Amino acid sequence: MKREITFKLNNEERKVEVDPAWTLLYVLREVLELTGTKEGCGYGECGACTVIIDGLSVNSCLYPILEVEDRTVTTIEGLRAGSGELHPLQQAFVNEGAVQCGFCTAGMIMSAKALIDENEKPTEDDIRDNIAGNLCRCTGYVQIIDAIKTVAGGGRT
């Protein structure tokens, strides 16, 4: 039976009517038409669907929508400043060649953001640990890790 839930999405209060069996990923892409978050596998094995909920990175493809109620969700669309300026992580990905086909990019950036918000100065090991759940086939990860490094240690984002 459909229900209405309220939650904070990209700094805005949202009221959405949802079916309890829907996942957060489904609601983002099909109901709210925020297609920046991608489905890469549907089983929590690739990270393309990563969003941030209450400060923690999660696979939205496995997140039941009713669990989102009253929580704070951030997706890739919520990173840009109101002025349109790119978030430092987004700019770093552009600058360092960390984007090739781009399908993994949204999830990768969200994992990186969750890490840097939690730990201002992550080591390279920390970075790898925190993006290990985001698969990328194009880049070989080197330039992605470099991009995150340029932002890590650079102050609060």
Partner 1 sequence: MTRFEYHKPHTIKEAIGLMGSLEDAKFISGGTDVMVLIRQKKIAPAHLISLRNINDFSSIDIGDGLQIGGGVTHSDIVANEFIQKRYSALTDAAGKVGSRQIRNVATVSGNICNAAPSADTACPLLVFDADVKIAGPKGERRVPIDDFFLGASRVDLVPGELVTGFHLPPFGQNTGSAYIKHTRRQAMDLPMVGIAVRVTIRIGGSEIGCKDAFCAIDSISNILRRLEDEELRCEDVRIAMGVVAPRPVRARKAEAALRGKVISEALFEEVAEIAAAEAQPRNSIRGEAWYRREMVKVLTKRAILISVDRVLRPDDMIHPDRLW
Partner 2 sequence: MSDLTTVGKKITKRDAPLKVTGGATYIQDLKIPGMLYGGILYSKHAHAKILKLDTTRAERLPGVMAVITAAGVPNNFRFGIMKDNPPLKGGRVRSTRDEIAAVAAVSAEIAAAALELIEVEYEELPGIFDPLEAMKEGAPLVHEEMKSNILKMPWKLVCGDVEAAKNGSAYVVSDTFRTQWVTHCCLGTSGCIAVFDTGNNLTMYSNTQIPSLAQNDYFEALSAFGLKGRRVRIVQCVIGGGFGSKLDTYAYEYIAILLAMKTSRPVKFIFSREEEFFATSPRQCSITKISQGCDKEGRLTFREMEMVLDNGAYTSWGATTPSVMMMPISSLYKVPNIKYVAQCVYTNNTYSQAMRGYGNPQATFAIESSLDQLAEKAGLDPYELRFRNANEPGELTPQNFQVTSCGMKECMAEVVKRLDWKGKKGNGNGRGVGMASLIHVGGGARVYKSDGCGTIIKMDDRGKVDVMTGATEMGQGSETVIAQIVAEVLGVNIDDINVINNDTDVCPWDVGAHASRSTFVAGNSAMGAAKKIREQMLAVAAQNMDEDPAALDIKNGVVFSMQDKEKSMALSKVLRKVHYTPGGKMFMAEHFYDPPNENFNKEFKGNLSVSYAYGVHGVEVEVDRETGQIKILNYIAAHDVGKAINPMLLEGQIYGGGLMGIGYALGETMIYEKGRLKNGNFLDYKMPTAKDVPPVQAVIVETDEQAGPFGAKGIGEPGLVPTAPAIANAIYDAVGVRIRDLPITPEKVLRALQEKAQADTGRSGA
List residues binding partner 2 (CB under 8 A): 29, 34-43, 45-46, 48, 75-77, 79-80, 86, 90, 93-97, 99-106, 109, 127-129, 131-145
Query: Measured from the CB of residue 68, what is the shortest distance to partner 2 in angstroms?
Result: 18
Q: How many residues does the chain have?
A: 157
Interface with partner 1 (CB under 8 A), residue from 10, 14, 39, 67: 67
Query: Measured from the CB of residue 81, what is the shortest distance to partner 1 in angstroms?
Result: 25
- When asked if residue 90 is in the footprint of partner 1 (CB under 8 A), the reply is no
Long-range contacts of 32-37 (CB under 8 A, 24+ apart): 34/75, 34/77, 36/75, 36/76, 36/77, 36/106, 37/75, 37/76, 37/106, 37/107
Which range in 32-40, 75-83, 107-115, 141-149 contacts partner 1 by CB under 8 A?
Answer: 107-115
Number of neighbours of residue 1 by Cβ within 10 angstroms: 4
